[in-house]
Amino acid sequence: MRAINTAENKTMSNECSITRRGKKGIFHLRIVYPTRLLPFFNKTQYWKSLKTDDPGIAIMRASPKIEEYHRLARSLATTDPTDFGHIKNACAAHGIDYETDTKIAAMSVMDTIGALSPHLNAWVMLAKPNDVQKVALAGAMKPKLTLEELFTRYQDLSSGKWADLDRDAKRKKFNRYAEPVAHFKATMGDLDVLDIKPSVAFEYAAKLGKLIDAKTMKSETAKKKLLFLNAIVRKVFQADYPDNRNPFENAVIEHQGDGETRKPFSEDEIMAVRKAMAASNANDELKAISIVLELTGCHAKEIALLAPSDIHVGPDVEIPYIKIGVNENRRRLKTGGARHRAIPLVPEALEIFKQYPNGFPRYCYSGGAENLTQSMNKIIQTVAPDRTTYSFRHRLVDLLRNHKGVKDDCLKAIIGHNAGQTGDYGLGFDLESKLDGLSKSLEQAEYLRSKSKKTN
């Protein structure tokens, strides 16, 4: 065997080498685990064929493996080799189900002997057991679960939860659950989840309540933190610790809320926003979308991810409309059901979609809607500081609600809200009814604006 000269290969280290093996002289990567890391592995060294006899290619193929090993070695340097996870894995390597101290203590003498017999048999087969194997085969530990391990396990158990979303969208969903775990850790410390008592969860809820009182956190934000923590712990405990009680189960925040969090535009503000958009240096697509949001009540993401097949504005279409639903750009809608809908286009909105019959490519990608709303909100807040793109939607809801000729169910059919018990009956409101409701509501708003100007 001949190793590549380490002077020629800067990726090598005392533990790692690239060596020729066999008659064909194929290079192999060899990693010899140092004594400090042996408790984490069931062998003393690692071999991997690099499937080449070219030294340059061998180094190129070995480098990622070596870097990966060094990252692992650095992380293991601060890890306790006798923590519960490593002990369970060590037992599994010998075909043994590890029993906790609580379960062993609850067993009868005969059951204890039966449970420990496989441990003793495995011990006999080991010439020099390492620290992990000693603890795994000769003792019974109390299990531990860090907050980080809790969230990682939740991700594993929930891997199919958003299977129909792309990678970026799925990451954003999980980040919503990661944040409450991080906040709990920062507030209460890095506690062993299996030792958290209901009193600790109630103390955390009380601290969230103080943040609400100090107006440094909204009540809905605080309530969601508890809601998500409860969901995470419940799923992991049901799967792995069925005998444990979920400490967050009854922890609540007694608070009536912060009032309306997403305010509608007033009619003066809607005109000011229009002027600000027109005068801004924003791109044409953003300006067009702002008008569409105003006249349809859609969410920004619904418009950003429109596909050409969703836009029906051709000369043969009796009532032009856009369709909000699953397409090649999105696999699902936020709440499904009522969010799948057709929205007729009033004349001004129709003119925009004649200019953009294929949608808005500048924002039609994962994360595009977020960039759109951030850019749009900056312009909006120059004239309406506490308003956002959601204010378009809330303003249209108010216009529809306040027009006597628009039924509540028609409003919900346009906006995409559930219409209650009868919402799934029949075919729903037709385009003509929706267009009539939209047109009359927007015309009434324009009439009231002009009347207000004359009065002033």
| pLDDT of the residue at 269 | 95
| pLDDT of the residue at 330 | 84
Q: Is 233 helix (H, G, I), strand (E, B) or coil?
A: helix
- When the pLDDT of each residue in the chain is averaged and rounded to a whole number, the result is 82
Stretch among 36-50, 217-231, 359-373, 414-428 having the lowest mean pLDDT: 414-428
| pLDDT of the residue at 427 | 44
Q: What is the mean pLDDT of residues 225-251?
A: 93
| pLDDT of the residue at 447 | 75
Q: What is the mean pLDDT of residues 206-213?
A: 92
Q: Is 16 helix (H, G, I), strand (E, B) or coil?
A: strand
Q: What is the mean pLDDT of residues 361-380?
A: 92
91, 38 Cβ separation under 8 angstroms: no
DSSP character string of 239-256: HH-TTS--TTTT------
| pLDDT of the residue at 45 | 87
| pLDDT of the residue at 354 | 96
Q: If pLDDT is split at 50, 70 and 90, which confidence band does 399 have?
A: very high
Structure tokens at 317: 């279409």
The letter for the amino acid at 437 is G
CA-to-CA distance for 121 and 123, rounded, in angstroms? 5
The pTM of this model reads: 0.56
Query: CB neighbours (10 Å) of residue 211?
Result: 18
CA-to-CA distance for 377 and 375, rounded, in angstroms? 6
Structure tokens at 32: 């010899």
Q: What is the mean pLDDT of residues 414-420?
A: 76
CA-to-CA distance for 291 and 298, rounded, in angstroms? 11
Look at residue 25 and tell me whether its pLDDT is greater than 70: yes
Q: Is 306 helix (H, G, I), strand (E, B) or coil?
A: coil
Look at residue 5 and tell me whether its pLDDT is greater than 50: no
| pLDDT of the residue at 12 | 47
Q: If pLDDT is split at 50, 70 and 90, which confidence band does 335 have?
A: low
Q: What is the mean pLDDT of residues 238-247?
A: 91
User: What is the rounded end-to-end Cα distance, in angstroms, of the chain?
Assistant: 95
Look at residue 81 and tell me whether its pLDDT is greater than 80: no
Look at residue 7 and tell me whether its pLDDT is greater than 50: no
Which residues, 6 or more positions from 318, have their beta carbon under 8 angstroms from its beta carbon? none
Q: Convert the pLDDT of each residue in 293-304 to its tens digit.
A: 999 999 999 999
Q: Is 424 helix (H, G, I), strand (E, B) or coil?
A: coil
Q: Are strands 45-49 and 26-32 parallel, antiparallel or unpaired?
A: antiparallel
